[in-house]
């Protein structure tokens, strides 16, 4: 009896001391996993996330997302990992010119002027006025592409051309901004007035340059008292045209926005008198002309009246954020037209 009791107690001890935890093989696998994990934690084969590169100033002009994949090496706990580095595009130099072709020229004279201007190595984009008789000329410029426009009564007088190797067309639109004047209505008739908006993508950077081109009617500035409006219907409609130009400028997209045109109002007198409704006052919240930035001491663009009435405008936001920098301006000579081209050399970034 005593022997059976002793054997029963011995069996109880054996049962209490038996292992009740996880299987030993599972323990071994867990230990090995913890030891090896640091060496396989960095999976260099994982896909690199995409980054949207935008400028620091988040405005409608500057936000042009561009998807890039740029893995760079970085140290992570003694290992080599991946991270996304910002891409900085190198600035580009672009020449923007404005030119009134003068519709009374012969086709051969107009062709000579157009080829002379577009063969200039510093010119990449041109805004033309009075171009409607010379559409064929503009579409035959070697190495250049031109956008001409139809209008209510045929061809519009505005056109924009660009160096084909540098830019390609994104979109183009013509806005009617002022009614014309017939011989029966006034002493100085003119056709309906428009603003051409042409968006161009720079081939190397993918950035968009937007060009606004226009032509104000004649007989709007009092040449006897420069800087003052004439009392003409032309002047009334010119002020309305400038208001519409300012509105359009406010809404157009593009990283870089510039304006070209024959404004028929002297830049020097406009800066001195700053008349209500004049180019400088109307566009003051939208753009600055090259004359405001570099002065008018470069010779007249309209020699018959000794005035600078042909303009290149640069968007104020772009100037403020240094997306657009004016490097130089120059009035070119040697043309048949009664106007001289104004060339602005820009650095765009």
- Is residue 10 assigned to a domain? no
For residue 15, give Cα distances in angstroms to 8, 11, 328.
11, 6, 98
How many domains is the chain partitioned into structurally? Answer: 1
CB 214 within 8 A of CB 194: yes
- Residue 237 phi/psi, 5-degree rounding, is -75, -25
- Is residue 3 assigned to a domain? no
CB 280 within 8 A of CB 292: yes
- Is residue 33 assigned to a domain? no
Q: Count the neighbouring beta carbons within 10 Å of the beta carbon of residue 189.
A: 16
- Is residue 16 assigned to a domain? no
Provide mean pLDDT across the span 165-181.
Answer: 97
The pLDDT, as a whole number, for residue 94 is 98
Determine what percent of the chain is predicted with pLDDT higher than 70. Answer: 75
| pLDDT digit string, tens, across residues 191-228 | 999 999 999 999 999 999 999 999 999 999 999 999 99
- Is residue 1 assigned to a domain? no
The pLDDT, as a whole number, for residue 23 is 55
Determine what percent of the chain is predicted with pLDDT higher than 90. Answer: 72
The pLDDT, as a whole number, for residue 152 is 78
pLDDT over 90 (residue 151): no
Q: Which residues have C-beta within 8 Å of that of residue 195, sequence separation ≥ 6?
A: 174, 175, 177, 212, 213, 214, 241, 244, 245, 248
pLDDT over 60 (residue 113): yes
- Is residue 343 assigned to a domain? yes
Domain containing residue 198: CATH number: 3.60.10.10
For residue 188, give Cα distances in angstroms to 11, 17, 22, 179, 184.
124, 116, 102, 13, 10
The pLDDT, as a whole number, for residue 97 is 99
pLDDT over 80 (residue 8): no
Q: Which residues have C-beta within 8 Å of that of residue 56, sequence separation ≥ 6?
A: none
pLDDT over 50 (residue 250): yes
- Is residue 192 assigned to a domain? yes
pLDDT over 90 (residue 264): yes
pLDDT over 70 (residue 276): yes
Provide mean pLDDT across the span 127-144.
Answer: 97
Q: Which residues have C-beta within 8 Å of that of residue 133, sequence separation ≥ 6?
A: 103, 107, 110
pTM of the model: 0.76
Provide mean pLDDT across the span 20-40.
Answer: 45
The enclosing H or E element of 215 equals: strand 208-215
CB 253 within 8 A of CB 230: no
Better-predicted residue by pLDDT, 244 or 20: 244
- Residue 232 phi/psi, 5-degree rounding, is -130, 160
- Is residue 243 assigned to a domain? yes
- Residues spanned by the domain of 141: 93-348
| pLDDT digit string, tens, across residues 54-108 | 333 344 444 443 333 333 333 344 444 444 444 567 899 999 999 999 999 999 9
* Average pLDDT in the chain: 83
The pLDDT, as a whole number, for residue 186 is 84
Provide mean pLDDT across the span 298-324.
Answer: 97
């Amino acid at each position: 009896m005593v022997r059976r009791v002793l054997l029963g107690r011995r069996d109880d001890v054996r049962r209490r001391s038996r292992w009740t935890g996880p299987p030993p093989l599972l323990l071994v696998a867990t230990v090995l996993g913890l030891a090896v994990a640091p060496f396989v934690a960095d999976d260099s084969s994982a896909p690199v996330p995409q980054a949207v590169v935008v400028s620091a100033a988040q405005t409608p002009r500057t936000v042009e997302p561009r998807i890039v994949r740029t893995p760079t090496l970085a140290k992570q706990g003694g290992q080599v990992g991946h991270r996304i580095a910002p891409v900085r595009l190198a600035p580009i130099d672009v020449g923007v010119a404005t030119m009134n072709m003068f519709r009374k020229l012969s086709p051969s004279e107009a062709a000579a002027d157009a080829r002379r201007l577009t063969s200039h190595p510093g010119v990449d984009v041109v805004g033309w006025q009075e171009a409607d008789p010379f559409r064929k000329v503009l579409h035959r410029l070697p190495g250049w592409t031109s956008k001409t426009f139809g209008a209510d009564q045929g061809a519009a007088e505005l056109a924009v051309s660009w160096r084909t190797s540098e830019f390609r067309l994104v979109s183009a639109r013509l806005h009617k901004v002022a009614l014309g004047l017939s011989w029966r209505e006034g002493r100085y008739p003119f056709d309906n007035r428009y603003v051409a908006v042409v968006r161009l993508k720079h081939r190397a950077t993918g950035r968009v340059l937007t060009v606004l081109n226009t032509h104000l009617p004649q007989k709007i500035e009092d040449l006897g008292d420069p800087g003052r409006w004439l009392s003409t219907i032309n002047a009334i409609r010119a002020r309305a045209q400038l208001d519409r130009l300012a509105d359009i400028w406010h809404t157009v997209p593009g990283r870089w926005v510039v304006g070209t045109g024959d404004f028929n109002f002297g830049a020097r007198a406009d800066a001195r008198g700053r008349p209500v409704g004049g180019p400088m006052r109307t566009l003051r919240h939208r753009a600055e002309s090259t004359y405001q930035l570099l002065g008018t001491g470069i010779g007249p663009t309209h020699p018959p009246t000794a005035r600078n009435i042909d303009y290149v405008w640069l968007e104020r936001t772009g100037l403020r954020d240094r997306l657009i920098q004016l490097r130089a301006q120059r009035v070119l000579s040697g043309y048949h037209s009664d106007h001289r081209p104004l060339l602005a050399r820009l650095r765009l970034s």
